[in-house]
Structure 1
Amino acid sequence: MGTITEKMAYPSWWYRGSRPSSDDQYFEILCRIIFQTGLNWVIVEKKWSTIKLAFCNFGINEIASFTDRDVKRLLVNKGVIRNQYKIQAIIENAKIFRQIAKTYGSFQAYLDGFDKSNNYAKVVKALADTFERIGPTTATLYLLIVGEDIKPKRIY
């Protein structure tokens, strides 16, 4: 990924050194990328502890149970990124994530079940087609951050 100087230009959470150890950690990274998209990463970094608290530490089951009342609560919370589309996508993605984990045993098992040849093309497409507010570029970044051996077309 580059030299230490190059790494300093990116958020520290991008450099995990290992795969996440739970589905909730995989989900939190997905959510962070959704919040990150279109914003300077410093903004998200400054608000992250408040965002994490407001979203129940990114517990998949808790977020999958959020209602319209929770969306309204989040939209008035000045400590979070108050983008209704991103908030609703995170709730919907929690439901999808929960179903994937139930079907495959874990999200890691789901990822491991893919043909990863051709630089993860099938995985990137599946993630972009499955999750809301995730496209090919953000899917590639996600795979990189969660420790998959994907070769980005460019350094993010």
Structure 2
Amino acid sequence: MPQEPHRIEPQGLDDYLDVMSKAVFQSGMSWKVVEGKWDTTREAFHGFDVERVATMDEAEIDALANDTRVIRNRRKLHAVVSNAGRMLELEDEHGTFRDYLRSRDEFWDTLKMLRKDFKFLGDFGGYYFLFVVGEEVPPHEEFREQIPVATGRR
């Protein structure tokens, strides 16, 4: 991470979706590009209103894929919509999304769970997401060193 991101106290699912979507778009891209387009991306995704985003249809995604105000990666656009729907399901299953995030005792188990449940959210995106929304994460240097061991990938 270029500099430590600002942590937030999520007020609801919309805040979680905003942060997660930023992690999705930052995957494989310049963080500066994502930051530069974030306000207009937020606007294009209806302020990350989870219920509204979860119901976006193909025509809306087509429009976004042609909108120069946003990053026009169709797979990532679809991932944001899918992730919104999954957040609603998990909130329903666990009572709150925070309870879902805290349903595992250990950081690496939580990270693995996020990677399984959400599209385009890898190790670094998951770490970023958990850090920004105020969940416990190991120091960044320790995280980077432990990825191969903790994930079984060398």
TM range (shorter): 0.7 to 0.9
Give the structure 1 partner of residue 36 of structure 2: 46
- Shift of the alpha carbon at 1:89? 0.7
User: Is 1:15 paired with 2:2?
Assistant: no
2:148 aligned partner? none
Paired residue secondary structure (2:144)? coil
Q: Residues 79-90 of structure 1 correspond to what in structure 2 (within 5 A)?
A: 79-90=69-80
Amino acid at match of 2:76: K
**TM-superposition CA deviations, 1:40-87 (whole Å, max 9, x none):** 111111111110010000011001101111111101111000000000
Structure 1 range deviating more: 92-101 or 144-153: 144-153
Shift in Å, 1:122: 0.9
Which residue identity lines up with residue 73 of structure 2 in the other structure?
N
Q: Does 1:100 pair with 2:90?
A: yes
Taking the aligned partners of 2:35 and 2:121, their CA distance within structure 1 comes to 19
Cα-to-partner distance string for 1:12-51 (whole Å, 9 max, x where unaligned): xx222x4312111011100001011111111111111110
CA root-mean-square deviation: 1.7
TM-score (norm 1): 0.84
Note the C-alpha offset of 1:106: 1.6
d(CA) in 1 for partners of 2:136, 2:113: 17
Match of 2:124 in 1: 137
The CA distance in 2 between the partners of 1:57 and 1:105, in whole Å, is 23
Structure 1 runs of 4+ aligned residues shifted over 3 Å read none
Q: Provide structure 2 residue ranges, at least 5 long, that are not aligned to the other structure.
A: 146-154
Contact 2:23 2:126 in 1 (8 A): no
Aligned to 1:127: 114
SS at match of 1:154: helix
Partners of 2:23 and 2:108 lie apart in 1 by: 19
